[in-house]
Every structure is written in C-alpha cells, then in structure tokens.
Chains A and B, each alone.
Chain A
C-alpha cells in the first residue's frame, strides 16, 4: 500500500503541465517514477475510481482525475459507491481517519 505515491501522482498530474503531458503521451513510462503496488497501477490505469476511493485517495484529488477519462460528476459519485460495494470500506487515508479503518461513508453505516 503506497497511498502517498498514488496521491502524489494524481496531485502532480492535476497541477504540473509536464507531468500531465507525460500522462497523456505515455502513462506507463510515468508510472515507473512512483512507488506503486500492482493493485494501485491497475486502479490508476483502468481507471477504477471506486477502488482508488477505497484505497484512500482523497476526493479533492480524485474528483479531478475522473474527468481526465471523461467521467462526469454523477458517474464519479456512483463509481465511488460501487467501489465500496465491490471492495469494502475505505482502507487508509483521511476517510479511514477514525474508527479503526471503518469508512464513514453513509452507505457503509
């Protein structure tokens, strides 16, 4: 689990034009620069927005990543809900901050 690097990659894609260009031109080459697990690489490339949410990616980053793949707002929200159903509660990060990793998403209460 290397949530920090997943989030750093998305952060840099969102704000750095050079990183964004590498993302557009050769995503595989860009991914090598980050310490990522196979599951994280799979989620980023697909993209599996629901799994990225469950892995703990902050929505303030994730909501900008989804549109890069043409995912509209309500589809983005639905993808996260589906991710919880498929993969279980959020595993790390802010959304697992309290409650021993229990997600506080309404759907899981």
Chain B
C-alpha cells in the first residue's frame, strides 16, 4: 500500500501573505478556496499517510545557478521554513520533521533510473510551506521535499518530469510506508513581475483538462518558449503536475479552480488524482 494520495495545489506566496489585500467583493471566493484547501487536508488525512512527498518548484531558496540540479530530494532529519520573512509570507517560522531513513531508500532506488541529487539541508520556501500550512498545519507529518528545476533555464525537460513521476511511483511501490504525493505550482501566471496577477484562463483550462484526463502526451507537448509566451514563467511549474500525474497514472476525481483572486497572482488550483 505505497501511494495512498496524489494531488496538486497552488503555492503562490500571496495565498497567505496577501490574504488581507483581497478586495471586499472577492472575500467569499478567498474563503471558499481556503475551505477547499482544508477539504484536501481532510482527504489526505483520511488516507493515513506515514509521509508526504512534496514535489515543488522552489524559487532560489536552496538551489541557484551555481549548481542547479534537474531533480533533488531531501534526506534531512528536519526542514526549517519559511525562508521568507514571516510577516511577508504570513506564516510563522517552524521546523518540519523529515524521514531521512525513508528518503535514503527512495533516493537509492530512484537513482537507478534518474540522476537525482540529494540534500541533507533544505530550507522551505513558499513553494512548500504554503501547501503545508494548509495540508498539514500542525507540521506533524514527516515531509520529504523534491525539487524540479522550473526556475533557472535550461529547465528540466517535460518528458523527463514524466519519467521521474513514473520512477517515483515504482519506488513508492517498493516501500511499506503509506505515501501522500503532492505537486505544487503553476498553472499560468507571471508572479513577481509587472504582469503579476495576469492569468491566461484559456491556457489554464486547456492544461487542466489535460491534467484531469491524464493526457500525459498533451501535458508534455509544450515548448518552454510557448509556455513562457502564453502562460508566463510561472507556467514552467507544470513540471510538478506532470510528475504527479505520471506517478498516479490516473485521471482527476476532484478539483477546484478560480481565476478570481488576482492578488494571489495565480489561478488557484487544487486537484486529486485517482491512483491506478
């Protein structure tokens, strides 16, 4: 009983850090989004996971262009976060437990097929801590972070994100622990640029349709240039969705999306996949 939950969620820092800047008319939408996030927490808890593997697209908190891995997995006893200012992000600094022994087994197995870097020190940025804030708010579930390079070109190719997901799944199948897998990021957005708040609703709808229908061929068909032009640099984070889709090997059976919270600078997305 290895993979017990597979899902994706947005991780934009505005979700927690700019919640007070949501206009009055949209407060009910914000609160509905938070309610759905909590529903996702309940879904995960009902599967009684032993650990949560979070596939994220971190933003120069740990990885920089001096030594940028295509894939990296954490192997630490604990992880501190957020690395950002607490007030800016709206999340207090805390320590999240890891499971280095489980990480070691996963990494050794994944390395048989994927050139995976590992890290025994990792400070969580909003890409991981925002989802944890909602999905394991007591920070009492061991977390194993994973990063895919979605920030510093040349980026991890989409088809390799798919292969990585398939290998993750095979590896999860080898261990007795019950694992919840969460991908965080995307879809279209132009975060922290002059176009912050802009969303390509049609692009989101197309990609989300592919994701919910387990259309990996479609999801891996985008060039980075096309994604950048149509979905912004934030669109590069679809790699995390692709990995989770490949690992779950199934379509979506629950999701939420709203483009009505521009101050969060992303089309707020939550989804759960069937595990086949």
Contacts and interface: CB of A to CB of B under 8 A. Distances in A.
A and B co-occur in one complex: yes
Interface of A: 4, 7-8, 11, 14-15, 53, 58-64, 67, 73, 76-77, 80-81, 84, 94-95, 97-98, 104-107
Contact of A8 (B18, B21, B64): B64
A97 B21 CA distance: 32
Main secondary structure of the interface of A (DSSP, over half): helix
Contacts of B151: 58, 60, 94
Interface string B55-69: 000011110111000
4 closest Cβ pairs, A-B complex = A59-B192, A60-B59, A63-B192, A80-B194
Interface of B: 18, 21, 59-62, 64-66, 83-85, 88, 123, 151-153, 191-196, 198, 224-225, 228-229, 233
B18 A67 contact: no
A98 B83 contact: no
Given A4-B65, A105-B193, A60 B88 contact: no
B223 to A, nearest CB: 10
B225 A98 contact: yes
Given A15-B61, A60-B60, A80 B193 contact: yes
B229 A77 contact: no
B85 A59 contact: no
